[in-house]
Structure 1
Amino acid sequence: MKILIVNNNQFGYHLDTYKYCECLSADNDVTYICFDFGFDKFESNKINVIYVKRDAYFISRVYLFFKSILDLIKINNYDVIFVKHFKFCFPIALMNKNVILDIRTSSVNKSKYKRFLEDSILKFDSLFYKKITVISESVAKRLNVKFDCILPLGADSFGKLDNTDYKNGFNLVYIGTYTGRNLHEFIKGLSIYINSGGVVNSMYIIGHGSKEDYDLINREVFSNGLNEVVKLTGFLNHKESYEYIKKANVGVAYVPITPFYDKQPVTKTIEYLATGLPVLATATLGNSIYINNSNGVLVGDNPKSVCQGLKDFMCLSFDNSTFELNFNSWDIVSEKLYHFMESVKHEIR
């Protein structure tokens, strides 16, 4: 099957579509078109990656991206075009019949008005697409969007780790964006725990985020004298991140407990558990589905609760060989996507 995957994220910097490409390219002709943000490029012999220059001017940037997509469609006879949603992506639905829109998330913007605007744009875009995939039923329900197929979270299992001994202190890892996650509140809780006699050897924050949140985190780190404990590494790819997971004994999945975060997919929680790493997570509905006393601790979204959660970890014993994980490998998710693409290809033609 000849597949075009469209994503405004540079190739390799959006995990889901990167994994789809990786799995689907084994038996299919896969092309991926994206903006060139100037990040390090991921090499792939099996995937045809088309980079579009990201012009400084918004209008010319958008025009060039859509023109590049249309030119590709005209030249190549793609069986299916798969579009990971980005704002105002509706013109792509008008370029070909065999187009699928993929929705990974609803808005988690702190501003009520910006959330409404961003979700409204997404719903508007979706009206132009005949075929839609979503990450979960709860996201579709929140957006009030009709869908044809659920493409759930995937995870890689690199083999079970055995780092669940806390006698010598905690080695924490947080992976993901820190924009709007209130990680500075988590750092406060970390400081309270250390000042009460607890031992934290390290916490690595892997990812990127807004300058505002970066400054909040750093201010909290330095004001509490934790600059030798808490380190921000910046963005790392999947394999590089795993090197930090191997050294950790707790994975941190910390987001505010709000209605708009409550039903969001818990990507990192599942990835931690897939490697056998117990998780300290805020008690959102999504995290509550996966976390129990056998694999982690749920906490509130405030410093005192974080401190108590770390103390609770010291009282629990984890056997990660007994972790009951309800997740799909990327191979399984990609196979589901392939079968859906096949059905779209035959149905529309």
Structure 2
Amino acid sequence: MILNELSVVIPTLGGKSINTVIDKINDGIDKPNEILICIPKSNNNKLDISNHKNIKIINTTKGQVQQRIEGFKKAQNKFVLQLDDDCKILNNDIKNLLFELKKLGEGNVIAPIYYDEKTDKCSHPFITGLKGFVKSLIATIICGAPWGLRRMGCISKIGTNYGVDVNYMNSNLKETEWIPGGCVLHYNKSTIKENFFPFSGKAFCEDLMHSFLLRENSIKLWVCKNSSCKTEHAYFPNQKKEIIQYLEAFKYLQKLRNKRIARFWIWYFLNLLRIWIKFNVKNNENEFINIGIKINKISYTPEAYAYANYFQNKGFIVDLNYKEKLKKNNDIVINFMGFRPFWVNFINKNILEIHEYTSLSTKPLPKIKDKIKYFFNSKPAGRIFMNKYIKESFNFKDNVPFIFREMGADPEMYKKNNNEKEFDIVYCGSVLYRKGLIDIIENLAKLDLKILIIGFYDNKTFDRFQKYQNIKMLGRIERYQIPEYYSKCKVGLNFTPNIHPLNLQSSTKTIEYCAAGLGVISSKYKWINDFAKDRKANFLWIDEIKSKSDFEKFNFISPNVDDLSWPNILDNCNLDKFILKVMNRL
């Protein structure tokens, strides 16, 4: 039992991967003595740690470096492993690190080799051939790094860092000038317990600063060949704000290192020029493209509004409108598909179309409806499918380019307002065409639960609900108003009949409820069951509510869905590049 001397410190905001990280750490008889989860108090509800007895919660302010330091201060054991909440290291690999660090003795820290979790390839490959030669020229002449393999693990004169490729390690250990901050094993007494990172937002370059300060304290840095850590591939920031934050952090690193060399400023201003070109010249090219996005007056289609914001931020001209008001000079139009026969294109033959399929047809005769769409819908320039199942079900046999795009939540949904709770339950969406929904809302109202309904309804529905003092019907409101109303509610209601294909489709409202921090009441069906299981949520099923106390006593657990914000979803599927591709602009 060697891990009883170990404290693990994990700063987090409650991301979805942290449970996997903890499971891997504790997967063995020999477990760390303590795992300190350093998390802002407002994010505590995103954690499900009931299965682990060695976890302690440390409430902190927000900021990765500060959160980690608070954990260092509370760590009780001789050895401390700093670990990011998306870095997955096996129990046995931690033992290997600890074994090697004990051999090295005090005055040393050690880190594993990093692997891309999607490809299982080393995260820091050394490039050979012509491309590698050019890369070495840039690294040595411009950045001031050693030539070739000698730069592995080094920090160049201007501060750029170079990782270690496991395939070129001649021994189990290699001393370096820099180690990534995702996974580092320390002696407790050598951890840095004062905040060295003076910026808010993402902690760009903090591992470079940390490595520099450790070496200033006469601590040697090592990487270990026989210990591995898997994480997502790290990409250079591509948003204007983040790139500027990165450069400012990089400039501060130079100040720490007391480096004032000319080549750094050349590199710095070249990057500023690159930003200007990327976000001015490139966006100006996009400004000549007019994108129409068609909406209707019954469905919210939140993806349409997300698309509009996304494209506007990318420099496109966007026409978000109802069919009859859509401009005739749009270069391309996104249609959320139902039945759109090919002869429609005879009228608008100069406008390219993107067809978006977020669902399959429902009863009656769903397969016949889908076949009609297959044979008679016009052929678009591109297609967007919500998932592979929908694409395979339509089985289009042409060569039209396509992408997959999941459902998401508006960034505004994630803003938590501490308003007084006026309602027990909110339902957001049209109450029409959902057989059984009105009965469910009425049954919940009879239990004396206060209910808010946001969305389209008809006179018949209004007449049925107006007799209940505890039901408030807002009707359709603007998207930006929804988060404010959500903040006045305890839980959100999701109702989807357990029938094909509805039971396979993502529930936008459930994702939005979770983003807003609401509990969820739902009918049972495949998608919601899988979603709750995968994200370790605890939802209250409609058929389990027999009394008001069933609602009041239930332990709602709303999962973290930060990865499902619309900017993340649309960036990940490269929607802007897809549009340019179908327009032959790429």
TM-score (norm 2): 0.43
Q: Which residue of 2 aligns with 1:337?
A: 575
Q: Deviations over 1:77-123 (max 9, x none)?
A: x3x44333243253465624853211222234xx413x456434433
Change (3 A) 1:4 1:22: same
Letter in 2 for 1:269: T
Change (3 A) 1:34 1:97: closer
Distance 2:373 2:333 in 1: 18
Q: Which residue of 2 aligns with 1:316?
A: 555
DSSP-derived class of the 1:112 partner: coil
Q: Which residue of 2 aligns with 1:244?
A: 485
Q: Which of 331, 342, 361 lines up with 1:90 in the alignment?
A: 342
Q: Deviations over 1:158-194 (max 9, x none)?
A: 44648899xx9961100011123222221343156x2
Contact conserved, 1:189 with 1:306, CA < 8 A, in 2? no
Q: Does 1:25 align with 2:312?
A: yes
Taking the TM superposition and a 5 Å limit, the aligned residue runs for 1:55-66 are: none
Q: Which residue of 2 aligns with 1:185?
A: 439
Q: CA deviation at 1:266?
A: 0.5
- Structure 1: unaligned runs, 5 residues or longer: 38-50, 53-67
Q: CA deviation at 1:267?
A: 0.5
Distance 2:517 2:310 in 1: 23
Q: Which residue of 2 aligns with 1:48?
A: none
Contact conserved, 1:173 with 1:248, CA < 8 A, in 2? yes
Letter in 1 for 2:454: I
Taking the TM superposition and a 5 Å limit, the aligned residue runs for 1:269-348 are: 269-291=510-532, 295-299=537-541, 304-307=543-546, 311=550, 314-316=553-555, 318=557, 323-325=559-561, 327-335=563-571, 336-346=574-584
Q: Which residue of 2 aligns with 1:64?
A: none
Q: CA deviation at 1:125?
A: 4.7
Change (3 A) 1:346 1:119: same
Distance 2:536 2:418 in 1: 15
Distance 2:351 2:508 in 1: 31
Q: Deviations over 1:55-75 (max 9, x none)?
A: xxxxxxxxxxxxx64xx26xx
DSSP-derived class of the 1:184 partner: helix
Change (3 A) 1:317 1:277: closer
- Structure 2: unaligned runs, 5 residues or longer: 1-285
Q: Does 1:152 align with 2:400?
A: no
Taking the TM superposition and a 5 Å limit, the aligned residue runs for 1:142-291 are: 142-145=393-396, 148-158=402-412, 159=414, 161=416, 171-181=424-434, 182-191=436-445, 194=447, 200=449, 202-209=450-457, 214=461, 218-219=463-464, 222=467, 227-291=468-532
Larger RCO (CA within 8 A; separation ≥ 6): 1
Q: Which residue of 1 aligns with 2:388?
A: 137
Q: How many residues align?
A: 289
Contact conserved, 2:293 with 2:335, CA < 8 A, in 1? yes
Q: CA deviation at 1:25?
A: 1.2
Q: Deviations over 1:124-174 (max 9, x none)?
A: 354623521112223334444467211211212444648899xx9961100
Q: Does 1:106 align with 2:360?
A: yes
- Name the Cα RMSD after superposition: 3.7
Distance 1:35 1:160 in 2: 29
DSSP-derived class of the 1:4 partner: strand
TM-score (norm 1): 0.69
DSSP-derived class of the 1:133 partner: strand
Identity level (%): 19
DSSP-derived class of the 2:498 partner: coil
Change (3 A) 1:161 1:291: farther
Distance 1:102 1:309 in 2: 41
Change (3 A) 1:329 1:315: closer
Q: CA deviation at 1:253?
A: 0.5
Letter in 2 for 1:315: F
Change (3 A) 1:19 1:33: closer
DSSP-derived class of the 1:25 partner: helix
Hey, which bits of structure 1, 4+ residues long, moved more than 6 A?
A: 162-165
DSSP-derived class of the 2:496 partner: coil
Change (3 A) 1:246 1:326: closer
Contact conserved, 2:293 with 2:304, CA < 8 A, in 1? no
Contact conserved, 1:208 with 1:235, CA < 8 A, in 2? yes
